[in-house]
Amino acid sequence: MVQRVDLTPMMKPKSVAIIGASRNPDKVGNVILQNYVNAGYEGKIYPVNLKAEEVLGFKAYKKITDVGAEIDLAVIAIPAPAVPLALEQCGKAKVRSAVVVSGGFAEIGETKLQDKITEIAKKHHIAMVGPNCLGVMDTRSKVDTLFLPTKKISKPKVGFVSFVSQSGAVGSTVLDVIAGEGFGLSKFISYGNAAYVDEVDILEYLMNDDETKVIVLYLEGIKRGKEFVELARKITKVKPVVVLKAGRTSAGTAAAHSHTASLAGNYAVHEAMFRQFGFTVANDLSELFYYAKIFASETKPQGNRIAVITNGGGAGVITADEIASSRYLKVADFETDTKKALRKVLPALVNMSNPLDLAGDADANRYRYALDAVGRDKNTDMVVVIILYQTPGADPSVTNEVVQKKITLNKPLLVISTGAEYTKKQVRLLEERGVPVYESPIAAIDSLEALFEYAEYKKRSQSQ
């Protein structure tokens, strides 16, 4: 498949023009310019404003052709009827890419206006994202075209998960949650109506992007089905893709079309295709986060046997039930040497079985003994650690033990922990240091199953 457009000038621009940059802090163009400043973008910034001489301390230009310098990216935030002229001027200025955040195109029936800007972008070879979108963010190049005030949304730390969303609203929610969950973001791309650059172009770019190790995708429709299938065959051989497809019902399909003018298509057909090519399919936003989190941890399972370490017997039993109820996972049977090693250091009240219940007074030492022994166990492929921080011995030293083991353990490890303020503080510390944490056994085991399924798919695809 031949790459249609190059998104590098958009994601790694050396210069950005903001058409519609405003001195009014309530205007989209002002928010976008302010976000570039706040992010510490190091390239050239050129505000374009018909009336102002300067905006936020930057010299302003009446039109982009007045800049007289190379421009990699133009962010267009002006009323829809004025966009065609602005794009034509971008073409004359030899701008390489554009993000049109303006709405008022095919999503409200203005298909002719949308077709017009698409023709202009193609004629001038401008890689155009949008219209009707939030645009793009790159945490490393500090590009941020999103018109989301920083006081209202947390910005994620730098990482290796890239999120693609046809919906700006879904995208903004995901960004806020990702920042709260603690795992890092590489790139965010909201592409709206997909008048020119579409999901195939974006996924192809991310497939080849060394800064992206996990792709998370929210779709309302697929514009070029044949090309999407061709790319889907390749992409999951390289890196995991988690997808949430909207339009599962006739009502959802109609809503998707009115939202971004997307043809959502038959959901069952799409789901079958995703699964055939190794995509991890999420049913809602919660699952999207769960799966993204476990893939972001990067450790690959060598098998399907799970060890459960807990300081609460009931929680361990529930987790074992979830493992036994899953399609592919099993409760690990500890080696004899593991049981002997644990028997030497753990109190007599602890039963040497899986789940390994360290008892309600378990402290950091018990967790360390258990993690060391289970980590060496050849019958264990993945480790679930349950921490009930409400008990006396569960304190920050337990958190530190788990973090240290995550660093040295060459097996997937996650934590299940539920609680209020004290627990949430410890959970935050775990996640900030690379340990995925889940509130329920269902979410945790579903995530490990997704991780195992993808690992098995990748093995099969590479052997074919």
Mean pLDDT across the stretch 191-197? 96
Looking at residue 34, which CATH number applies to its domain? Answer: 3.40.50.261
What rounded mean pLDDT belongs to the chain?
93
Contact partners, residue 139, CB within 8 Å, separation at least 6 = 156, 157, 158, 159, 184, 185, 186, 187
Contact partners, residue 54, CB within 8 Å, separation at least 6 = 47, 60
Is residue 404 in a domain?
A: yes
Q: Note whether 203 and 252 are same-domain residues.
A: yes
Outline where 40-148 has alpha helix (H). 83-92, 111-123
CB of 218 closer than 8 Å to CB of 190: no
Instruction: Pick the last residue of a domain from 261, 296, 331.
Output: 296
Rounded distance between C-alpha atoms, residue 194 and residue 168, angstroms: 12
Q: Note whether 271 and 312 are same-domain residues.
A: no
Per DSSP, 61 falls in state B
Q: Note whether 244 and 348 are same-domain residues.
A: no
Q: Note whether 275 and 129 are same-domain residues.
A: yes
pLDDT in tens, 354-412: 999 999 999 999 999 999 999 999 999 999 999 999 999 999 999 999 999 999 999 99
Q: Note whether 229 and 347 are same-domain residues.
A: no
pLDDT in tens, 86-102: 999 999 999 999 999 99
pLDDT tops 90 at residue 251: no
Cα 177 to Cα 182, 257, 290, 317, 422, distances in angstroms: 9, 26, 11, 30, 20
Is residue 364 in a domain?
A: yes
The pLDDT score that the predictor gives to residue 176 is 84
Rounded distance between C-alpha atoms, residue 192 and residue 184, angstroms: 23
Other beta carbons within 10 angstroms of residue 269's beta carbon come to 10
Contact partners, residue 122, CB within 8 Å, separation at least 6 = 196
Taking CA 284 as the corner, what is the angle to CA 281 and CA 286, rounded to the nearest 5 degrees?
A: 105
The pLDDT score that the predictor gives to residue 99 is 98
Closest residue by Cα to residue 138 from 167, 159, 169: 159
The pLDDT score that the predictor gives to residue 181 is 77
Rounded distance between C-alpha atoms, residue 63 and residue 412, angstroms: 54
Annotate 166-212 with DSSP letters as a single string: S-HHHHHHHHHHHHHH---EEEEEE-TT-SSS-HHHHHHHHHT-TT-
Instruction: Pick the last residue of a domain from 245, 270, 296.
Output: 296
Closest residue by Cα to residue 186 from 139, 129, 243: 139
Is residue 1 in a domain?
A: no
Phi, psi of 188 (to 5 degrees): -130, 130
pLDDT confidence band for 447 (50 / 70 / 90): very high
Is residue 3 in a domain?
A: no
Rounded distance between C-alpha atoms, residue 91 and residue 180, angstroms: 40
pLDDT tops 90 at residue 276: yes
Instruction: Pick the last residue of a domain from 266, 296, 326.
Output: 296
Beta-bridged to residue 271, according to DSSP, are none
The pTM for the full model equals 0.92
Q: Note whether 375 and 271 are same-domain residues.
A: no
pLDDT tops 90 at residue 436: yes
Cβ burial of 285 (10 Å; 0-12, 13-18, 19+) is: middle
How many domains is the chain partitioned into structurally?
2
Q: Note whether 350 and 451 are same-domain residues.
A: yes
The pLDDT score that the predictor gives to residue 265 is 57
**In terms of residue numbers, what domain contains 253?**
8-296
Cα 253 to Cα 263, 284, 439, distances in angstroms: 7, 16, 32
Rounded distance between C-alpha atoms, residue 291 and residue 286, angstroms: 9
